[in-house]
Structure 1
Amino acid sequence: MSYRGRGRGGGYNGNYHPGNQGRNSFADHQQNVDSFVAANAYPVEIAGWDGANSPSECINFISRKCRVIVTNYSVDNNTRLLKGYVKNESQANTLLNWSGVKFAGQSLRFAKGPSALSNQITGTKPSGASNNTIETITEFLKSRYQMENKMLNLSNVKQDPTLNSLGFFGSVSVSSKFFPALMKIASDLKLDVASVDLSSNELNDLQSLSSMAQTFPKLQNLSLSNNQFSKIKAFETWRHKLNFLRELILFNNPLVQTTNPAEIQSIKLELMKSFPRLVVLNGEVLRNEQVLHANSTFPFEAPQPMFFQDEDVRVLSTNFITNFLNLWDTNRAGLMVLYQNESQFSMQLDSSQPFLIDENSNSSNTDYGNYIANSRNLARVSSAKMRMSKVAVGQEQIYKQFQQLPRTKHDIVNKPGAFSMECCKFPTLNGIVITIHGSFEETAQPEISETQDSHGSGRGGPRFPSHSRPKKAALAKKCFDRTFLVIPGPNGSLIVASDLLLVRPYSDEMPWNQTATTAPGSAPIPNVPGAMPIQPPTSAGAGAPAPALNPTVADLPAELKTRLQPVQQEILVKIVLETKLNLDFALMLCEQSNWNYDQSVINFKNSASSLPRDAFI
């Protein structure tokens, strides 16, 4: 039997897309966390339910009778009140209107807030503090966070009296959602965490903690002692995600209680594969940290954004790229004089890299609908015939592919630091190989769609009605790498023999940016013996002494310590380490950013290219 044609997408109704499976699962997981936080936003209390055999019977009755769902419920053993949460205050008011409704021979009483009826029973005064789910978890995180050690203590959370009283661990389904919600809120708080203690939490897998790798990607120390891990496979959840993890503690877990030397060695090897910088396991040094650091460190001291083989190459390549990108953004037809009958162009799409959210537009850059049809990614396209068909040869084919790509803007004039070039001679053809890296902004949809022919109609003709055609791809920022082979043409002109364009997700962190040497939350730069401490500035601007490469709060001038608050002093030192600005300019940056660290970093990145050389150490 053939299933072809059933539904809009055939036998599976178009609902299964293997390429999107990972992205959809992440989105579904995030939606579940958001739903959990939203659905447990407003606390209520219920009295008079004792006539039932179990609290669930009362909750089901309220759902049927009052049309309000009470979640995350538990029984207070002291007051015998049934406590739970509803979605918002409006639903709580609806329950208040149902006070007195008969259930199991008794009248139910409802109250808003976490302790309204409790206070009546115990005679205590109500607290004015808000105890909804988000605020409760936020206060819990703040109470467990040690700023001076960058330590987050999440040990034995099920025994926390506040969380227990609010029923966070009243059932398995609710408990499983606690850690994802906690990690989401911790991410919003932007806690600077280097160590996490997750001991004594009855953990036997890491599914509920999978998002911790995104919340604390620079995590260095982790304790999972006194849990129930029995299989090394449990750590697959974090494989190659916690790439800065240095020390792991697994005491009192079934996994490490074996006495078989072969099993112990196998566990060590698997953990070292999962965490490439793991050095210490249960207090035992697994490998030479200095050698490991040398092997995992970028071998070049200071990556440069530009490389030219000689001065002639620099002049020719910079002029070529400047004019080419200007015409690419404004008049692609004008570029056709650079291509001949033997010229080739191909475009590849690499969507495997992590994507970011554009801070300005607040939209992701993961829509590749304008690129997929022409993409010649050899890791995805295996057919030799298909590979050849995606190479445009000659002016006509090349221009047609140009028209099928979105209109763009490369801001190379105003932001040259956002681009990098490598240019060298190609003696075989007396030409130059030019490679440029950077980003562009999509400004308009392609002139022609990949699904249209030269007459502007769909390839399928009238078989496909207009409502079934795919919607236009969203425009966003993208990054790119483009390589040209340029050879001499007639009358001293240049000809593009080969043009390779790679499009990938947008990121504002460029590897050639020397200022991005220490990310927030990463390990501080180690102290260098004999390094000079920060000296007090004698005057603003040029001539002020430069700070050392490893300043601490203790090195700040006495004048600044008197004038600045302790938190401001820490932010100032972090900005100096992050940006390599001298003390005067770092102080100016912090003041203009209202002492907000994240805003200071953003403002610095936006203005770094325009700062004078003496602004830096």
Structure 2
Amino acid sequence: MAPLGPKKGSVPNGRGTRNAQANTGKASTRGGISKRRAAGPLRVDRDGDLNMDASTTAGASQSNPKRPKNNSTPSGVITRTSSRNPRPTAKAQQIIQRVINGDASQVSSRTRAGRRADSVPLVVLKVEGLKASKAASNEGGGLKELLTFLERKAQSIGQIQRHIRIKKSQMRGDFVYITASKEDAQEILKVNNFMFAGATLHIVEAPEGVPGDSTSLSSTALEIKEGLRVVLSSRYDVSAKLLNLSSLGEDPSLNQMGFFSGASTPEKMFRALMAVCDGLFKTAQAKRDAVVSISLAGNSVNDVSQILSLTDTFPDIVNLDLSRNHFKDLKALQKWRHRLRSLQTLLLNENPIEVSVPNYRAEMTTWFPKLLNLSGTQVRTPEQVAAEEAASRPTPIPQGGPDFRDISGVGEGFITEFLALYDADRHNLAAKYYDEQSTFSIAVNTQSPHAPDVPVPTWGAYIKFSRNHIRINHPPARQQRLFTGLNQIQALWQQLPPTQHPNLAAHLDRYLVDCHPIHGLADPAGQNPLGVDGMIMTIHGEFEDQEPGTSKTAKRSFSRTFVLGPGAPGRNPIRVVSDMLSVKAFKNLPASTSASQTATTDSQQKEQMILELCRQSGMTPEYSRFCLDSTSWNFDQALATFHEKKAQLPQEAFATSA
């Protein structure tokens, strides 16, 4: 159930069922099942509910078949006395339906061709996030890429066969307004909170339509919208930052507007209220600043799916009151499990769940990571929340320098030749090291941290080949982007932008290379069923590439992992079994890594200088270190100093022979 009309124990307008039956002289059926009279086929409204107005009209016309068509009573004037609340006119109900569904562009009763506009209902959606995305720097502001993303994601999420189509799109400030059919709009709304080009998309219905669009709401629709604004204003406490939406079914203004009768349903009424809130608060920060607490107490809600739009409009609320509703189990709250991540207070008092699920508090604590108070009981302290947040944050793994366990210099020779040939001659590089069983894949990481002083590059030349498993989650697409065999790899490498890597020998500080032996690789000669030995090599570094068709260059970071094994008979002795390349925005290697590498290199050089001075002078390592240190580790000067002061050195300065 959802918010219902007034229930105070008395019938509106003083109407009593038994009195009405006594006046008519008919026996009461006492609510039992009665046989339906022959009144023609049942009629239903747009939501599939019985259209009571249609039935009444049909019955009236049948009971008075000879009633003259012309009547002296003016049209629209109710002539019979009724104890019922006045119903909104059919036109008003249609407009309410339009406002609720967000179909602002189709309020007009007829199109230019004379056909009813609601025969093909359209919905306007408001999308936020494009301006903050990396695609905003693309040509056209990234609008084309966004529309393609929305259509593709909406179709894949719903796993539907038909194509999702966005009919119109307009950019207005920080928002993009898109128009689609009602069915397609419902699928596009499922893409809400998805990541697009490094930014989170927020998608909501826009019943007010596109700002500045010529197809605006009619005067009656504007009147209804203004009525909803008045209701929200009367229920908003500025000092407490509280939006009180409790007992909506008893609100006289909402009942007068007909939200609890006719074709309108309470769920749609709630969506209409949230849509008006979206118009009142233009940004997410404005919502956070204005509304901290919301009360939905006493609305007969039994499933959060009926009020799901609350979490889209106010995802960052801190306090929520759901007391005096009809939630009976955890399933009724399941759809909020991964929402409202900032919620600190949740009230579920006087709900059946308190009795039917006694341990529901433990489950609620896991659903809402910042929850402190649940139904008046403290479930966490602020210190515990802070500790859990700290524990959930990833901690960087200390970098101790590369672990390079090469075998006969194979790894060093391969990587030095590979980087140079990849920049200069990819075709022959692939022909030398790759065969028909080799595999290659490339993944684009658009969310990695980047250097603040380096512009974020575009990814148009790479993204169509990207096999990033976080983004590409369908097995056929993953398989399609895994390139196997020499011909496929050569063809792909020709389509990737030309690159220039720093010289590995001259700029070792710009790379981090690991190399380890690996066992059990498939034997290309087929002689060892248990496999052969090889090595796995990972290199982290940087390169510059050139954008296709332009002279612009971009600096990027990369990680590349090779699995190397013995080549097939008659081929190169070394073959690449697997090659996985990951590209991302440029960022220097961790300072600890570079410092560790430098410290390791300096230490090795000093040890070599000590050993060499010991060999040439005959001094002990201790005196050799002292001599080098006094000359700031200048070997030639240290050796000259030794010869100059050799006679003055004590006997213990020299190493004794065995």
TM-score using structure 2 length: 0.37
Larger radius of gyration: 2
Q: Which has the higher contact order (CA 8 A, sep 6+)?
A: 2
